Structure 1
Amino acid sequence: MLHGKVAVITGAGPGLGRTLARLMAAEGASVVVAARTAATVEKIAAEVPGAMAVPADVTSPADVEALAAAVTGRFGRLDVLVNAAFPGTHRKNVLEMSPADLASWRAAVDIGAYGTLLACRFLAPLMVERGEGAIVNVTSMSSRKGYAGRSDFAAGKAAAHLLSHCLADELGPYGVRVNCVAPGWIASEVLDDWMRVRAAAEGVGYQDVLARDLSATALRRIATEEDVARAIVFLASDRARSITGATLDVNAGQLFT
């Protein structure tokens, strides 16, 4: 679906970012992976044929501008931008936050919101020049449903969600589409660890928590990284050429919107 296209993935970590990079390459794209930690993106790029690694902090205008220059220098064009950074959440209620927690809260929001804005500001012009392109911002179920202790993550992703609507309206006349993919829980070691923490706190077994969480989804399963990546690839492809300003939920029926 992406044959001959050049795709940049920001926030390309070892989970969803790596899975997405592999899938995009398998679908025919030339992939650029960008994230703050050089060792991380270099490892991912080494696993993806022809991939390019660019260390970049998405909250740094200089880093993101340098990323755009690197893409131009290597490929001379850009067709797809995926903003996939997932800031951590500190699981602190607002009234419990220390000054250090407040600083961490702001940093998480900067990654989710400001980082998405910067990537679009410096990379979207490469698509505007050509009169076509696709931006997919990975938001979250949390961008539309708040949970105690997750206000940092939710606020950043909610900002990216509405930013996407604004950008869809701004960039549409130039042939650039902007959409969101909103995952819910994603099957991973991180999720398993969180379930174990909750099980210990409640004095129950891991399987009890897993069964309860599965029962909260209509499909009685938890979406995988590949499930989310395939949704992103669809919105990035020409098969979605008349879709912009939309959000595709990938949560196995955990939340209906």
Structure 2
Amino acid sequence: MLAGKIAVITGAGPGLGRTLAALMSEEGARVVVSARSRDTLEKTAAETGALAVPADVRDAEQVKALARTTMERFGRIDVLVNAAFPGTHRKNVLDMDPDYLELWRSAVETATYGTLLACRYLAPYIIDSGGGSIVNVTSMSSRTGYAGRSDYATGKAGVHLLSHCLADELGPSGVRVNCVAPGWIASDTLTAWMETRARDEGTTFQAIHDHDVSRMALRRIATEEDVARAVIFLASDQAKAITGATIDVNGGQQFT
């Protein structure tokens, strides 16, 4: 689906970023992976055959360097996937001290401002390459707020609406902009969260898991591959008439 395309993935650390890089490579793309952590990034690159270019998406000069390095190596950019994870620190507004407020701002900057910078400095090269696709990974939380997660939800909600604006702005130049919004993703992180809830509620992990899954229409939690496949579809020419759209990958936990 992506044969011959050059794809850049921001936020390509372990987990979804690594799965995206591996599957995009399998689909024929030449992949550039970027993240803040050099060690983690280089491990992802080694495992997937991608080119590693460390960058903090909140820093305009580092994002410009990511674009330049990609162009110097491959001469074009066809696909940009913004998947930087802003983190969530689970604190209610009345409990936010000054240090936490800085963490909150950093999370929103990583998600929304980081996505904007990547689009600003890579989109011109996508246009010069004849057009292509930008896929922004948002979240089910971009539409529904949860107590203690305002940093993550606000950052992802910003990306959601930013994507609509950019779809309208870049469409005439042949660049499509879409979102993939995962719900829960099966992972060690999710398992640990369910185990913590089980302890807090005086029940078992299995009871928490079964209760949560029962609220999903498909009765299953999405995997990293499920999410990555949706990204690949939107990145490919099979979605050449789709822009400003969002694909929800949440097993039917939320309908929009």
Length-normalised TM-score, structure 2: 0.99
Which AA in structure 2 matches 1:89? T
Post-superposition CA distance 1:122-151 (Å, at most 9, x none): 000101113311000000000000000000
1:132-171 superposed matches below 5 A: 132-171=131-170
Partner SS for 1:177: strand
AA at the equivalent of 1:48: T
Q: How do 1:59-70 and structure 2 match up within 5 A?
A: 59-70=58-69
Structure 1 residue aligned with 2:18? 18
- CA distance in 1 between counterparts of 2:48 and 2:106 reads 30
CA displacement at 1:90 relative to structure 2: 0.6
Give the aligned partner of residue 45 of structure 2. Answer: 45
Q: Percent identity?
A: 69
State the match for 2:89 in structure 1: 90
TM normalised by structure 1 equals: 0.99
CA distance in 1 between partners of 2:195 and 2:86 (Å): 21
1:80 aligns with 79
Aligned to 1:55: 54
**Aligned partner of residue 229 in structure 1, secondary structure:** helix
TM-align CA RMSD: 0.6
1:40 is displaced (CA, Å) by 1.1
**Ranges in structure 2 where 5+ consecutive residues have no aligned partner:** none
| 1:67-92 alpha-carbon deviations (Å, 9 max, x no partner) | 00000100010000000011110110
Q: CA deviation at 1:41?
A: 1.1
Match of 2:53, SS state, is strand
Alignment of 1:179-218 (within 5 A): 179-218=178-217
Residue 131 (structure 1) aligned with residue 105 (structure 2): no
CA distance in 1 between counterparts of 2:86 and 2:206 reads 28
Question: Within 1, Cα distance between the matches of 2:136 and 2:13?
Answer: 15
Taking the aligned partners of 1:129 and 1:4, their CA distance within structure 2 comes to 16
Correspondence for 1:36: 36
Residues of 2 paired with 1:220 and 1:97: CA distance? 36
User: Partners in 2 of 1:53 and 1:163 — Cα distance?
Assistant: 27
Q: C-alpha distance in 2, partners of 1:7/1:237? A: 11
Which runs of 5 or more residues in structure 1 are unaligned? none
Deviation at 1:256, TM superposition (A): 0.0
Q: How many positions carry a matched residue from both structures?
A: 256
